[in-house]
Amino acid sequence: MRSGTRAALGVAFSIVLFSSAASAVAPSLGDILPRGAARGGTVEVDFHGGNLADACDVMFHDPGITVAEMVSAEAGKARFKLNIAPDCPLGTHALRVRTKSGLTNLKLFSVGALTEVDENEAANNDQKNPVVFPLGTTINGQVTNEDADYFAFDLNAGDKLSAEIEAIRLGGPLFDPKLRLFDTAGREIIAEDDTPMMKQDAAFVHEVKEAGRYVIAVSEAAFGGGGGFYYRLHVGKFPRPLAVTPMGGAPGSEVNVSWLGDPTLTAQPVAAPADSVMPTVVFASNDSGVSPTPVPFRASPLPTTLEVEPNNDAATATPAPAAAPVAFDGVINQDGDIDFFKFEGTAGQVFDVRVYAREMGSPLDSVAVLLNPSGSALASNDDAIGPDSYMRVTLAETGTHVVYVNDHLSRGGPTFAYRIEIAPVSPSLSFSTFLGVGNYEPANMAVHAGNRNFMLLNIARAEFDGPLSLAFDGLPQGVTADFDPIAAGQTQVPVVFSAAPDAPVAGSMVTLNGKLEQEGANVTGGLKQDVVLIYGDNLVVFQTRRVEKLATAVGEAAPFSIEIVQPKVPIVQNGTMNLKVVAKRSEGFTAPINLRTLWMPGGLGAGTADIPEGGTEAAIFMNANGNAGAGTFRIAVIGTSSGYTVSTPLTPITIAAPWVTFDVATAESEQGKPAQLKVTVNQQHEYAGNFNAELLGLPKGCTTGPQQFSKDTKELVFPIEIAADAPVGKFGNLFVRAVIQAEGEDVLHQWGGGQLQVFAPLPPAAAPAPEAPKPEEKKPDEPERKTRFPVAAAG
């Protein structure tokens, strides 16, 4: 697989705070060369990055490596000699370079057990003329665009050839390496791209049948590459299992395991890690060496049962020797395989049923089903909360329950190992940092001597609630941590670290110890921070590194400090406040200072502000919504300038219910005619004096003036002038704003709900219609004339 190459975005976790946007002093770390070294010796290492001229130390999150000497430092590179202990754990080690200004982002350095050599790039580009190396070698190389590196090894019939490449696991760019093996005739006999246990890296084991020269080719899977595409290729006869069963055992116990994926290995006992905090690992070793990188292994107190074939249906299910809680281990060893297990359970018991497979480097895409004693399905799952199956179940019956697992696509194979844990629901506690300002930029935090810095901790609780205590053990000399008690239900805690003016420039790894403060409770937890090292397209996370200690450092003094001017009055619900922040500058330091916050109590919002060049103060606008929780809270403001980041002390502010509220009524009139809007005043708090209330939100062409009120006012009437050309319609966003002064400061109140309706005037009455003429009176017909001589007709 190959996505668009994206440089590793090292989201580093430490306590030394810098803004990545301003980097005049904030150090950063890019490539480390060489990318690793053999244990049991001293090696000179170049650390490439930015602002490294004052580099003074390398801090390691893992034991086994120490600084022997600081050789040189310049802006873009620092060189150190490192001592690697003979018993240093193999694999990658997390580190940071410490400067007199702070800490870099987190990077990885790999420790191996073989002879280290350089790839000899000038001579390794031809398959027919490869560079020849002996077995037992770690080759440090680089793949440039469309590059392929060829290395030859002379082997005897019956030899074992093990190869493993570390590339994407070194935490550089999105590097998808490919390994190919060519036989003595130049035929490609192995092409390995993504080995599940190695993430996108690759490994293989080959048993040599014909003596001669064999060639291994290293390339990017789609023949890409680039400047940061470094790799470490381990080649030898060492054991290289690709899975293990069982996948777990009791912490500190000896567990007999079977290594999978390396046909030359058999079962052997290994010591389960004493610490059950994941991720825990074991190594395969024998007379031919030790695996270059570890195999994931769960340190779990659950009693383990290995599958016994045949167990392909409920009738042949492998039984647990004891009632749940239990763990089952097995292998889906062929296509279509289904593994059944059974255990005794009691109605009402609640369990977390979890499959461990892909998380442990297995290719299995698990589907798990739990059956009641009656044979009906109680629960099933594919991949609810990650790559593997998980179910929370409450047993409905007492008796024998069956759980079975198979692959989602009915695949199987010799490395399709899994572990099913049926564990009681138990509480857990952990902490991580809120990175802020876009979760993808480095969290570079430094406490400068005589100054402060801010960190926001996330709290992850499961299956419990209650107040917590928290301690930071191992802080550098002169550094203290200030935070408020952690209440039940609280999910974040703001912390301000302060360094005394005479605190020495130094660093240390700090342990967080959190504890549930309830009588009889035994819930504890510490830091579990997954540092993102590599993102793919659309910020898909490709690689993280779990760290469990805070890398802390004291830097040299910053040229400014900031403080909040503590308000003497509260901010009220539905109100606003301008929070004043003042700066103290060292002589000659005049740069602007950007102000922002990372945390506010629920319902309270805050903007940003800038102290102008040469200035000493600015105001941050805050607003409280109607649901903001009333109480006193301590907040801090972060200030950034010229690559330095500092914090104010935690400073109390109070959120209160409004001192006065306003019920805004409805008014109506027509264009060109005035209106009156009545407002009922509800007094909620004692205050002294007369103050103005304004009616805001009126449409264009409608005006009114302020009205005075005091603690005795019950009603306000706002006369509204409505222009003849004011818009017609309903205007419902009217609100009253009132500023009450107390102790020389403003308490701003806002209350809405009013409405003004403006009508168009009625048309003028029509003029009366003219009176219709009266009809002429009809004369009665004259009686017919009786005459002897009739009247002659008109002619």
From residue 370, give the alpha-carbon distance in Å to each of 330, 375, 407.
Answer: 16, 9, 15
Coil, strand or helix at 314: helix
Any idea which of 411-425, 443-457, 558-572 has the lowest mean pLDDT? 443-457
The pLDDT of 626-647, averaged and rounded, is: 96
725 near 670, Cβ under 8 Å? no
pLDDT at 778: 66
SS3 of residue 196 by DSSP: helix
User: Does a cis peptide bond (omega within 30 degrees of 0) precede residue 773?
Assistant: no
**CA–CA gap between residue 444 and residue 463 (Å, rounded):** 33
Identify the residue whose tokens are 């000179």. 44
3-state secondary structure 493-551: EEEEEEECCCCCCCEEEEEEEEEECCCCCCCEECECEEEEEEECHHHCEEEEEEECCEE
Nearest to 403 by CA among 415, 387, 418, 416: 418
143 contacts: CB under 8 Å, gap ≥ 6:
149, 175, 177, 218, 219, 220, 225, 226, 229, 231
What are the beta bridge partners of residue 314?
A: none
Q: Maximum distance among all alpha carbons in the chain? A: 169
pLDDT of residue 435: 60
The pLDDT value given to residue 539? 79
Domains for the chain: give ranges and CATH numbers. 17-112 (2.60.40.10), 115-236 (2.60.120.380), 243-288 (no CATH), 304-414 (2.60.120.380), 560-656 (2.60.40.10), 660-759 (2.60.40.10)
pLDDT at 536: 84
CA 439 to chain centre: 6
Collapsing DSSP to helix, strand or coil, 282 comes out as: strand
**β-strands 304-306, 417-424: how paired?**
unpaired
What is the rounded CA–CA span in Å between residue 497 and residue 23?
21
Nearest CA-CA partner of 583 in 555, 610, 606 = 610
Out of 70-84, 529-543, 599-613, which region has the weakest mean confidence (pLDDT)? 529-543
Q: Identify the CA nearest to 94 among candidates 111, 115, 74.
A: 111
Q: Which residues contact 390 (CB under 8 A, 6 or more apart)?
A: 352, 353, 354, 355, 381, 384
**Before 310, cis peptide (omega within 30)?**
yes
Reported confidence tier of residue 553, pLDDT bands at 50, 70, 90: very high
- The predicted-structure confidence for 180-236, as pLDDT tens digits, reads as follows 999 999 999 999 999 999 989 999 999 999 999 999 999 999 999 998 999 999 999
The CA distance from 445 to 49, in Å, is 17
**Burial class of residue 679 (count of CB atoms within 10 Å of its CB; 0-12, 13-18, 19+):** buried
Report d(CA 500, CA 492) in Å as an integer. 26
Residue 438 has pLDDT above 60, yes or no: no
Neighbour-count burial for 5-43, b at 16+ CB within 10 Å, e otherwise: bbebbbbbbbbbbbbbebeebbbbbbbbebbbbbbeeeb
pLDDT at position 23 is 40
Question: Is the per-residue pLDDT at 25 higher than 90?
Answer: no
- pLDDT band at 22; cut points 50, 70, 90: very low
CA-based radius of gyration for the chain = 39
What DSSP line would sit under 564-587, residue for residue? Answer: E---SSPEETT-EEEEEEEEEE-T
Question: Which amino acid appears at position 209 of this protein?
Answer: K
**What's the half-sphere exposure (Cβ side, CA atoms, 13 Å) at 753?**
11
**CA–CA distances in Å: residue 738 to residues 659, 703, 712, 746:** 10, 17, 15, 10
DSSP string, 461-476: EES----EEEEEETPP
Eight-class DSSP state of 38: E
Give the model's pLDDT for residue 266: 86
Cβ-contact 196, 365 below 8 angstroms: no
- pLDDT tens string 268-297: 999 998 875 556 899 999 999 999 999 999
Task: Using alpha carbons, list the distances in angstroms from residue 24 to 19, 20, 63, 647.
Answer: 10, 10, 32, 18
Give yes or no for a cis peptide into 263 (omega within 30° of 0). no
Which of 11-15, 211-215, 230-234, 557-561 is least confident? 11-15
- pLDDT, position 768: 73
Q: Please check the confidence at residue 446 and state whether its pLDDT lies above 90.
A: no
CA-based nearest residue to 531, from 541, 520, 518, 523: 541
Please state, in angstroms and rounded to a whole number, the distance separating the CA atoms of residues 343 and 34: 52
> CB atoms < 10 A from the CB of 651, how many?
18
Nearest to 455 by CA among 479, 485, 475, 435: 435
As a whole number of angstroms, the distance between CA 94 and CA 252 comes to 24
- CA nearest to 128, candidates 215, 30, 195: 215
User: How far apart (Å, rounded) are the C-alpha atoms in residues 640 and 451?
Assistant: 13
The 10s digit of each residue's pLDDT in 700-734 is: 999 999 999 999 999 999 999 999 999 999 999 89
Is the pLDDT reported for residue 20 higher than 60? no
User: Which residues have C-beta within 8 Å of that of residue 187, sequence separation ≥ 6?
Assistant: none
Higher-scoring residue by pLDDT: 14, 116: 116
Neighbours of 775 (CB within 10 A): 6
The single residue listed with the structure tokens 């647990």 is 320
DSSP state of 708: E
Q: Burial of 572 by CB count in 10 Å (0-12 exposed, 13-18 middle, 19+ buried)?
A: buried
Per this entry, what is the length of the chain? 795
Q: What is the mean pLDDT of residues 580-588?
A: 98
The per-residue pLDDT for range 479-490, each reduced to its tens digit, is 999 999 999 999
746 pLDDT band, cuts 50/70/90, is very high
Residue 252 amino acid letter:
G
Of 491, 499, 478, the closest CA to residue 558 belongs to 499
Q: What are phi and psi of 175, to 5 degrees?
A: -105, 115
User: Which residue has 């004692």 as its token pair?
Assistant: 686
